[in-house]
Amino acid sequence: MSGPFGFKYTSGGSEYNGWAHPEGAWLENKETNTNKPTTVTRRSDSQNFSICYDDDWATASGNRYDNGKDDNVAGNSTTCGTANDKVKLHLINSTTNAAYTFDAALAFNSVTFVDRFTGNSTTRTGARYDGAGSSLDLGWECLLPQNIAGDTWTAESFTGGSNSCDGAVNYRPLYHLPDGTKLTTTAGGVEYYVKAMETKRFLLKESTVTPCADIPLTGAPADAGQTAASIGLTADVLWADLPTVTVANTIKYIHGVAQ
């Protein structure tokens, strides 16, 4: 599918990662409006694209939403597509001057699965696949700066032009579908099956003052009572005590036969 893709961009003299998709662009450096990159480079083939941002959910509410103007330009007066075109991210190939078009996403019927993370049976509607890297539009959760110590994750939500994950330092999928989960397209009833190609493991931060108290020690060897003092700092054999090996007292082998 002609779907989302990863890109790189420069901001303040440094290079950052980005992700272009039908719902907009994710920027690693979290640039705000009027400060976003106007040119990006696709990672897979180093192709450059000019970019403009219509329908930016962070600012474009009310009559500014889908008005065909670049929400990255102060004054909201620069053309970016056309009004009511339902295109949220406009990308123009810098070589061919052709617009990049995302293929229509595959829409699926309601799906029920046992979440691999929580172990709970979950039913979700609105699953969509728009190309490699798609999250199936099942939702994300984020780690906010104020929650790092407690490792508390917040489900992402959008309300009145604001995002509950604004300023987050990390993201992960809200749900973890097990391999083999069947998805059936709403149009045509075509069946697809989920298969994870890459996984990432997160470690849970220990918040108590006795971080090892919950680690089972059944079957562990008995404490020998060793301390730093009892181990000592003096070695019985030093490098200087090792014998010197000379050519005269070595055994030579050729194809495993002593000569």
DSSP letter string, 47-73 = -EEEEEE-S-TTT--GGGTTSSB-TTS
Q: Which pLDDT value is given to residue 109?
A: 97
Q: What residue ranges in 86-190 does DSSP mark as E strands?
A: 89-93, 106-107, 111-114, 121-124, 128-129, 140-143, 153-155, 158-159, 162-163, 170-173, 182-184
Q: Which pLDDT value is given to residue 11?
A: 92
Q: Which pLDDT value is given to residue 239?
A: 73
**How far, CA to CA in Å, does 259 sit from each of 121, 250, 255, 256?**
72, 11, 10, 9
Contact 165, 156 (CB under 8 A): yes
Q: Which pLDDT value is given to residue 206?
A: 59
Q: Which pLDDT value is given to residue 242?
A: 73
Confidence of residue 250 (pLDDT cuts 50, 70, 90): confident
Contact 70, 78 (CB under 8 A): yes
pTM value surpassing 0.85: no
* Mean pLDDT, the chain, integer: 82
Q: Which pLDDT value is given to residue 205?
A: 59
Confidence of residue 73 (pLDDT cuts 50, 70, 90): confident
Confidence of residue 209 (pLDDT cuts 50, 70, 90): low
Cα radius of gyration (the chain): 29
For residue 213, pLDDT beyond 70: no
Tokens of 69: 């103007």
- Of residues 66 and 230, the one with the higher pLDDT is 66
Q: Which pLDDT value is given to residue 40?
A: 97
Q: Which pLDDT value is given to residue 135?
A: 80
User: Could you state, in order of their start, the residue ranges of all structural domains in the chain?
Assistant: 5-93, 106-193
For residue 64, pLDDT beyond 70: no
**Measured distance CA(19)–CA(4) in Å, rounded:** 7
Contact 94, 39 (CB under 8 A): yes
**Measured distance CA(109)–CA(111) in Å, rounded:** 6
Please give the share of the chain, as a percent, with pLDDT higher than 90: 32
Confidence of residue 187 (pLDDT cuts 50, 70, 90): very high
Q: What residue ranges in 164-218 does DSSP mark as E strands?
A: 170-173, 182-184, 191-193
Q: Taking every pair of C-alpha atoms in the chain, what is the biggest distance, in angstroms?
A: 93
Contact 131, 4 (CB under 8 A): yes
pLDDT tens track for 79-99: 988 888 888 889 999 999 999
Which whole number is the average pLDDT over 200-229?
A: 65
Which whole number is the average pLDDT over 221-227?
A: 72
Long-range contacts of 220-229 (CB under 8 A, 24+ apart): none
Confidence of residue 125 (pLDDT cuts 50, 70, 90): very high
Of these ranges, 30-34, 153-157, 236-240, the one predicted with the greatest mean pLDDT is 153-157
Position of tokens 């990159």? 37
Instruction: Tell me the backbone φ, ψ of residue 249, rounded to 5 degrees.
Output: -110, 30
